[in-house]
Amino acid sequence: MGSPRMAMNGKSLLVLCGVLAIGMLPKSAEAQEWRFEPILKAGLVSDDNANLSARLDEEVDLNGYLLEARADIKYSLSNITSFLLQPRVSIKEYPDDSEFDSDDFYLRSTLIHRAQSSTIGFRVNFDQQSVRTAERTESDLEIEDPDEIPDDDTGRVGLDGDRSRWRVSPYWNYQLSNVSSVEATVDYFNTSYDDIIPGTLIDYTDTRLNLNYRRSISSTTNGIITVTGRRYDPDDVILEENNGYGVLGGFERALSPKTRLVAMVGVENTDQAMGQSDTDLIGNVTLTRELETIRLFARYQRAITGNGSGTVELRDTLNMNFNRRLNERISAGLGVRAYQAEQIGEFSTIGDRDYVQLQTQFTWYVTKAFVIEADYRYTVLDRSPAAGVVGVNEQRSNSNEISLWFVYQPKTAPRL
């Protein structure tokens, strides 16, 4: 499988990133609006059930080496135009189990232009990952943008093959008055799978349009109304596309100068096969707090999401991270990622799932540029059989993963 219309291999991506990086570096020392921040990481990892198998005799115990390189290329001009290009490559090598080696490539780019009463933004992301990496979303202690939290993993990490995914997301914001504004956002995903067993994961496109109206109620509170529509289109001759539309209302409130709360609630209707439809309650609650020694992000979301199962699903998701500086050189973090996914419709390659990952991390800033990170993750995945499958019971799998990273970041200021 695999969609040739938007495919790009890893070598092409690296060449593109290199050309763009070289072309965008400042031509002179006076070009102060440009910043180039490289980050190099090397590490060791051990996972006692890397394929999240429910059978003890099929568990894969991996021990290997990690190498990651990333560059943040930033441009800013008088708070009018800003640009970010972030190429990253992640290499995993397992000497005793080389069939699980992987080279994963990522590219993030964001362009924002501000005018007197409007803002235009454009985001283009590309990922090329092994299925084992792509279909198992990890807890993240560095969440900054809730829109970047992935919600398209299926938990099918025991499959060979690769996944390529494009995300294109333009948006436009217009200030109607000093108290109100409107915004239009399009989120387009194109996902394809290569070298996998046919019928296990399905190529698809997923497009969502959001129209937002925001109005200031007081100096600390904004009211928000969102109208949303989506189209999920699996690349399969049997499966049908899913169309949906919904509405949400809520507010954004500054509880203090360092604490912000956003709450939204609404409904979304999803069309199904044979003229049927399904209406579900959706919404989200997000709390952020950032102090000198503490950083907190917590988000609960109930949404209709699409993935490689061939249909959409109703997903309840909890993401939380808590970071605290213990002293000038050491910080600790706790992360939680959990979701409950329920299939919508009668046709799907996977069943309902319950997923929980707990993460703890200790960071030691040996110097400002050299950092050591110790990370532990415990993961549990409960799976029900797909609709129509008989003779298969619910399955539970769990894994323990320990990693040790050595990080060199000569131009990146520590978050805590």
**pTM for this structure?**
0.88
**Furthest CA-CA distance within the chain:** 70
Buried b (16+ CB within 10 A) or exposed e, 386-401: beeeeeeeeeebebeb
Query: Measured between alpha carbons, how far is residue 161 from residues 32, 95, 219 in Å?
Result: 43, 19, 52
Q: Which pLDDT does position 140 carry in this prediction?
A: 87
The angle subtended at Cα 302 by Cα 297 and Cα 307, nearest 5°, is 100
Domains and CATH numbers, the chain: 4-408 (2.40.160)
C-alpha 104, offset from chain centre: 15
pLDDT tens digits, one per residue of 351-368: 889 999 999 999 999 998
pLDDT of 389 strictly over 60: no
pLDDT band at 64 (very low <50, low <70, confident <90, very high): very high
Q: Which pLDDT does position 346 carry in this prediction?
A: 66
Q: Which pLDDT does position 277 carry in this prediction?
A: 85
Closest Cα partner for 407 from 144, 68, 74? 68
The SS3 call for residue 5 is helix
Closest Cα partner for 250 from 219, 208, 295, 214? 214
Percent residues over pLDDT 90 in the chain: 66
pLDDT tens digits, one per residue of 164-207: 999 999 999 999 999 999 999 999 999 999 988 877 899 999 99
Could you tell me the two tokens for 400?
């323990």
pLDDT tens digits, one per residue of 101-117: 999 999 999 999 999 99
The SS3 call for residue 274 is helix
304: left (phi over 0), alpha (psi -120 to 50) or beta: beta
pLDDT of 1 strictly over 50: no
Q: Which pLDDT does position 387 carry in this prediction?
A: 59
Mean pLDDT of the chain: 88
Q: Are 75 and 81 in contact (CB under 8 A)?
A: yes
C-alpha 285, offset from chain centre: 18
pLDDT tens digits, one per residue of 309-344: 888 999 999 999 999 999 989 999 999 999 999 988
